A and B are shown apart, each in its own frame.
Chain A
Amino acid sequence: MIPRHFQITVALVLLAILVSGMVIIRITHKEEAMTLRGADTAPVVPVVGGKQEHIQVLVAYDDDQALRWRPADVFLPAERGMRARETLRCVMAQYLQSPSPHPLAKGADIKDVYFINDDTMIVDTTAQFADGHPSGILLEEMTLASLIETLAANVPGITKVKFLVDGKERETLAGHADLMSFYQTAAVHEMAKEFE
């Protein structure tokens, strides 16, 4: 007959092995997920060449609830779509630095831009741009106003802009600002004046 204390000890040892195994599996999965998430934050489009230009970028400042024009040096290709994308990425870069005047989530980026016709453009952003955007009417509208105003100032001829998130339509940026409609750059210009 196997003594009782020996049976219990064996059972506990087996249990400990089982639990340790499960914990190791979970940690491994978590590490994998983190690695993948980290990979997602890498630029989604290749870096492009072009001529370095001195442009004006409209930057949102949360502390002052204001939008202000700031100079920036950026390589801009001649092709209109690429130029628009790089201009928008320049605005994003302002928000992704640390400290940031208007913090956006890591991985927030412009995936691509498409012209429907000469004056109407679709901007496709990464999922992180919307998923991690701080929620609030003013915060969301400041982001959109700074992007659209900078675009209109540096890529002439754009009158309508619409945003997609990871290739799909989304109702709002983070619960407030409308992403279903086409934004008229003239109307956004009037809106942006209220922040200056």
Chain B
Amino acid sequence: MRWSKQRLGKAGLAVAVVALCCALGISADTAEHQLTVYTAQSSYSLPVLDRGGKAYLNVADLLSPLGASQPHVKGKEWRLELNKAELRLTEGKEKAVIRGHQADLGGKVLVEDGRVLVPMDAALSLLSQLLKTAVDYHQPARRIFVGNVFTRFHAELKNGDQPSLVLTFSQPIKRLDANHEEDRGVLFTHTDRTTLTFSQDPLVSDVNKQQFGEGAIQSLTFSEENGAASITVTGNSKLQVIRSEDGKTISLQPQAPVAVATPEPTQQTAPSVEEGQRHTQEFFVMIDPSHGGYDKGAIFGGKLAEKEITLRLARELRKELEERGIAARLLRDSDIDLALERRAEITNEQHAGIYVALHAGRPGRGVRVYSSLLSDPQQPLAGRFLPWDSAQSGALNRSQAAAHAVAGELRKKGLTVASLGMPVRPLNNIVAPAIAVELAPEGDDPQSMESQKRHNTVASAIASGIAQVRGQMGVRP
């Protein structure tokens, strides 16, 4: 077969494009897909998994932050409870039983490594029927709103000496990431884009684009994608983002050389003690496998990440506690991102009896047990709220007692142990007794961090220490 000039030209072009892509190292953006759930109490994101081209979720990731029990297996049937409502899922079946009624899931239930996976779109029916409330699902953006939790905003351009775009929100913004890009694609001019990403706020908008004319601030675009909302402001100047103290206003204005501002300590509040006492619950241990998702923590031997060690150790600790008749919950049971403040918020919201953060790090050997070091304990304001930065102050003595008991049990197992008071995040923000346990490698051997035997020994000692002081833990002074 002889190739025509046209055919040869097309083939050559295709080869050139492939070669060009390889040479430039262009690869598809493999950012993790995630779904975000917004409720009146909290917001959380969970990974979306691809199973045969269909999007799936881990049921535990979806429902545990709302207070659901861990799924229990009986044959092929998995059961869990949320709000006294039962959910039953059967491996391989396309229907679930919620509150005794059948519900279509739109795909088969999968079970992998003890995790129950359901199609992502089933999240809407699971949440609405288990919580018996209105649930709004922005499917393409993977955002779920439980109840009337929406945060809305309006934008106003103020033209003074310096133009300023003021965004006013109906509720305070919890978390904001700002990113600036400059596009010099056009000769003699350029466009600056400032993108504000709201990953934890139920931000919605009825208007997707607003034009403001020419100049430093030209337009605003609202978009939703991958479990987050974004506001992009374009103009011909780099913008400075200023957030008000109450979190309800964000101003954008052209950057000017400014003196370094004195940072104001953020005023946040932890749940009140009285609020906590109203919710008397069963004692349980909140286990925090530190790091996760993009936050790998320390790296051992070039590839073993702290986030993997802490998750394995956390699962082992949960098993050891349950064997001693103590309930335990994991703050994450998969490889997800969870901000430090969010970890403290969930622990406080769920009224944990004790919080145990697990870490792994150099140097030295053995295990280190930490309780909080409060630099500046502040007194509760008028008895109703605890200052966020020193929420731990009321539980510090019990945290030290727990650290002492755990360190004692670790020593009994023949491990090298140090017990220290340190300002480790987020211990100071936890209302309940809180400790952190850091596993160190044995000398220079990174393999020791993976040793199942060592994990068993450490988890068993921590569980014994907690069992010893359990009686004192739930009692507030």
**Chain A interface residues toward B at CB < 8 A:** 2, 4, 7-8, 11, 14-15, 18-19, 22-23, 26, 62-63, 65, 112, 114, 116, 122, 124, 134-139, 141, 160, 162, 164, 167, 169, 171-172, 175-178, 180-184, 187-188, 190-191, 194
Contacts and interface: CB of A to CB of B under 8 A. Distances in A.
B374 A187 contact: yes
B295 interface: yes
B163 interface: no
Chain A interface main SS type: mixed
B20 A18 contact: yes
A172 B263 contact: no
B19 interface: yes
B256 interface: no
A138 to B, nearest CB: 6
Contacts of B266: 180
B297 interface: yes
Residue among B2, B361, B389 with most chain A CB within 10 A: B361
Contacts of B67: none
B438 A19 contact: no
Contacts of B418: 65
> Which 6 pairs, one residue from A and one from B, show the smallest C-beta to C-beta distance?
A136-B361, A22-B23, A184-B375, A135-B298, A11-B12, A178-B423
Contacts of B295: 175
Interface string B196-211: 0000000000000000
A152 to B, nearest CB: 13
Contacts of B185: none
Given A141-B424, A177-B424, A182-B376, 9 more contacts: A7-B3, A18-B23, A65-B364, A136-B362, A138-B368, A138-B438, A178-B428, A180-B265, A180-B389
B420 interface: yes
A160 B389 CA distance: 15
A139 B363 contact: yes
Secondary structure of the B contact surface, majority rule: mixed
A112 B299 CA distance: 31
Contacts of B5: 2, 7
Contacts of A188: 375
Contacts of B361: 135-139, 176
A171 B297 contact: no
Interface string B177-196: 00000000000000000000
A137 B19 contact: no
B368 A137 contact: yes
A164 B359 contact: no
Contact of B359 (A14, A112, A176, A191): A176
A22 B20 contact: yes
A4 B3 CA distance: 7
B260 A137 contact: no
A136 B298 contact: yes
Given A22-B24, A135-B298, A137-B436, A181 B364 contact: no
A190 to B, nearest CB: 8
Contacts of B306: 135
A114 B260 contact: yes
Contact of B376 (A4, A18, A62, A181): A181
A183 B290 CA distance: 23
